[in-house]
Chains A and B, each alone.
Chain A
Amino acid sequence: MPSVDTAAVATRVRRAPTTYSRIRYANNLASQAFPAVLIGVLILMVVIVAIQDGTTTAVSELRNGLTIGAIYALIAVGYTMVYGIIELINFAHGDVFTLSAFYAILFTRLLDRMGFSLDDLATLHGVPGFVATMVILLPATMLAAGITGMLIERIAYRRLRNSPRLAPLITAIGVSFLIEGVMFADFGSANVRTGKENWIRGNAFTIGGVTVSWKDVFVVAAALGLMFALQAFVRYTRLGKAMRATAQDRDAALLSGININRTIAATFFIGSALAAAGAIIFSIKDDIVVWNLGFRFGIIAFTCAVLGGIGNIVGAGMGGFLVGVIAVFGAQLVGSAWDNSIIFAMLIIVLTFRPVGLLGMRVADRA
């Protein structure tokens, strides 16, 4: 528990009216023009691809970008929540995502061994069967992942809460390696099929000559739904209010009787549970996971969080979809070997011209 620096609290209280809005916005021209330029570039990319390769290609790539972006968004939300509240880039978060996919596999296998096949339930009984599967699998996996997240915070990060920032950052990288090692040892290094591919089948509609499957619709809708639920949770519930208060000023929150440790643990729980939901959605969508998947996805999701404005939940969601689409179109235009380079170049550009991100950072005014 942090010791209360009364002088600092007093200063903050005195400054309170001027820092009423905790969202730090951009304040120079390059930075103010950034969103417009970004959207402009995005539209230009879509148009060029449409002219070069036909509208069908452009629309299908848009679909590909949005569906993968939905996954990035769900992971990014976890990054942004943790950063918002304790200003830690939780590098282990991408690995919690992968670990959750394996939790789901284990849980499915366990039920299967007990004579209850989730796979049959999902595939043989239409929409109600699928909903029932989700009702069983989703909470179980989210709970397991949430507890994992809380344990990580309790064991690895809590003691370092008041250390220099580098210490928890390096610890986070260590935790990431630890989780990856566990998955490597248990599931091997080759791709693992999750067996959820056929849980959703059929095509929803055709647009611009491109068929959009129910799976694509599900991926985007589920991600949006979860993010709206989270946003509502943070905005309207007591715990959500406590989270926001802790994010704004931990000491003041403590003074007003908020249990900081419990609030931070809850943040880790919710972030990890969302990653678990993302992992299940990803398993249904792509069906292939591999032990080090979370490393790349994690860094990409971090980029999404920075693009949206780190600490900002809506921003992270938006960043996810934007990065998904830009990466796909960038690869189409510049060459597929460049897709990761495009994403990380974007990270550098954001940090250079608009470090606060598109929607502004939502962090305490302590720098």
Chain B
Amino acid sequence: MEHTRAQRLIPLFSALSLAALAACGTSNNSSSGGSSSGGGTDLSGCSGAVTVASDLPTSGGDAAIGGGTEKGVKLAVDQANSSKLLGGCTITYVAKDDASVAKGKHDPDQGARNMTELANNAAVVGVVGPFNSGVAVREMPISSAAGLVQISPSNTDPGLTIVASDPDIDTASLHKDPTGRIDYFRIISNDVVQAQIMANYSVKTLGLKKIYDISDNETYGKDLSNYYDKDIAALGATIIKRDDTSTFDREKFKSLLTGVQSQSPDGVFYGGVASNGSGVLKLAMQDVGLNAYFLSGDGTVDPQYFKDAGAAGSTKAFASSAPDATNLPSAGKFNTDYKAAYNSDPVAYSAYGYDCMNILLAAVKNVLLANGGKIPADPASFRSKVAAAVAATDYNGAIGHTKFDTLGDTLNHSFSIYAPGTGSDGKPAWVGKETVSG
């Protein structure tokens, strides 16, 4: 009984918070109104607030990368509000953190709780996130059942969208929209493409023959390692051993590396994220005196890698990740704006978060325009119209051109190869070397 009472209270609370937040939004607007250029004239009669949200890991082990991504998202909202993108309507932004104290990093359970909350908040029309594929697996059934559109800046597990591409994911069960519509989109290509690019780089560019593959035993890491293993074999090189570990101590990695040292691997691939010890593994390679290349995917392109690895992190390491927005000509303005707003450099996914939110806001704008310049009265139909508008996206943003296929995947299949370099603050950082199209 208490449960239903609580459920009955949710609309009330959301209405209250919406009113409060709308008031904040308006005051923000008026204070920065001077710089506005007055985006949509047709929306000048629009009144009220549109609520958008993000769900990213912004505390704990993922704080550096997740927080920087959230800043990109917030920048898009702030810019849209100050330029009056929605005319008389304001944008209310709800930021959720899917890192939990229990895990100290991204937590699928926390993501599911956040998504339930957002889905139950009828005012929310779209969500940017999540960051991790493992979190997406838990969130997608909830968001799609509520017809809530979700755009991820960074999920790369192919199983999220492509049926039977990942044995661990039942793709069909993730899509629960009652109308059968796709509600999940992502603006980055998937791990099949990424693994292939990394395998090509390992064998063709670096000339590696014997590679030792370790995964962090999570949805993302394990699959990336699986695809990589297949691609390496297809290219004629050898995976001398494959391990999956769920403890990420220096000791553990040392012991693992000791086990293969007699076969003298010339490369070590890590299918895992930095909060699961990419940097610790690199450090352990130095400990045991294994002078091999360290290779990894986008999960490693994270400042935490250098915090863990220290000086050992800067030699003989390569990782693939989404095209480095700091080098892309299309991201020039974004990089300047980001630095001006936060007085720090964007992280690898800041521009991706920025584009996700801009795509969502552009879709909202189209819906409002089609609705006679007003917010649709029925929240459910507002959500479904936004989802349809996102599906029809044709957007030129900071990371380049984004258009979605019928499964919700982007048609932009580029990845960059990153190597350790120096950031603008003089500290070690991942720097994009070259961009490859898959």
Contact = CB atoms under 8 A, between A and B. Distances in A.
B200 interface: no
Contacts of A193: 307-308, 310
Contact of B104 (A56, A68, A189): A189
A61 interface: yes
Interface string A60-78: 1100110010000000000
A190 B60 contact: yes
B275 interface: yes
A57 B263 CA distance: 10
Given A61-B259, A189-B59, A337 B307 contact: no
B259 A189 contact: no
A57 B275 contact: no
Interface string A317-357: 00000000000100110011101100000000000000000
A189 B60 contact: yes
B244 interface: yes
Contacts, number: 89
A288 B60 contact: no
Given A189-B105, A193-B310, A57 B259 contact: yes
Interface stretch (B114-122, B223-231, B246-254, B407-415): B246-254
Contacts of A191: 61, 277, 279-280, 304, 307-308
Contacts of A181: 101
A293 B101 CA distance: 14
A2 to B, nearest CB: 38
Tell me whether chain A's interface is mostly helix, strand or loop, or mixed. Answer: helix
Contacts of A53: 259, 262
A61 B61 contact: no
A288 B252 contact: no
Contacts of A68: 251
Contacts of A189: 59-61, 99, 101, 104-105
Nearest to A210: B258
Given A191-B277, A191-B280, A337-B217, A328 B255 contact: yes
B250 A288 contact: yes
Contacts of B245: 336-337, 339
A292 interface: yes
A54 B262 CA distance: 7
Tell me whether chain B's interface is mostly helix, strand or loop, or mixed. Answer: helix
Nearest to A286: B250
A291 interface: yes
B: interface residue count bin:
35 or more
A340 B308 contact: no
A188 B58 CA distance: 12
B261 interface: yes
B243 interface: yes
Interface in B252-307: 252, 254-256, 258-259, 261-262, 275, 277, 279-280, 283, 288-289, 304, 307
A287 interface: yes
A283 B194 CA distance: 37
A335 B310 CA distance: 29
A154 interface: no
A165 interface: no
A116 interface: no
Interface string B46-78: 000000000000011101000000000000000
Contact of B255 (A56, A291, A331): A331
A330 B19 CA distance: 60
A61 B252 CA distance: 11
Looking at A61, A65, A189, A331, which has the most chain B CB atoms within 10 Å of its CB? Answer: A189
Given A57-B258, A337-B217, A292 B104 contact: yes
Contact of B280 (A61, A288, A331, A336): A288
Interface string B128-147: 00000000000000000000
Contacts of A188: 60, 63
Interface in A170-213: 181, 184, 188-191, 193, 211
A181 B100 CA distance: 12
A296 interface: yes
A186 to B, nearest CB: 13
A196 B310 CA distance: 13
A189 B60 CA distance: 5
Contacts of A292: 104
A184 B308 contact: no
Looking at A56, A181, A293, A331, which has the most chain B CB atoms within 10 Å of its CB? Answer: A331
A65 B259 CA distance: 12
A64 B254 contact: yes
Contacts of B279: 191
Nearest to B103: A189
Contacts of A64: 251, 254-255, 258
Contact of A288 (B105, B258, B308): B308
Contacts of A61: 255, 258-259
Contacts of A328: 255
Contact of A337 (B246, B258, B261): B246
Given A60-B288, A184-B101, A336-B243, 15 more contacts: A60-B261, A61-B255, A64-B254, A64-B258, A65-B255, A190-B275, A191-B279, A191-B304, A193-B307, A193-B310, A211-B289, A287-B250, A292-B104, A335-B244, A336-B256
30 contacts: A53-B262, A54-B262, A56-B261, A56-B262, A57-B258, A61-B258, A61-B259, A68-B251, A188-B63, A189-B61, A189-B99, A189-B101, A190-B63, A190-B275, A191-B304, A211-B289, A288-B250, A288-B283, A290-B104, A292-B104, A296-B247, A328-B255, A336-B243, A336-B245, A336-B256, A336-B259, A337-B245, A337-B246, A339-B252, A340-B246
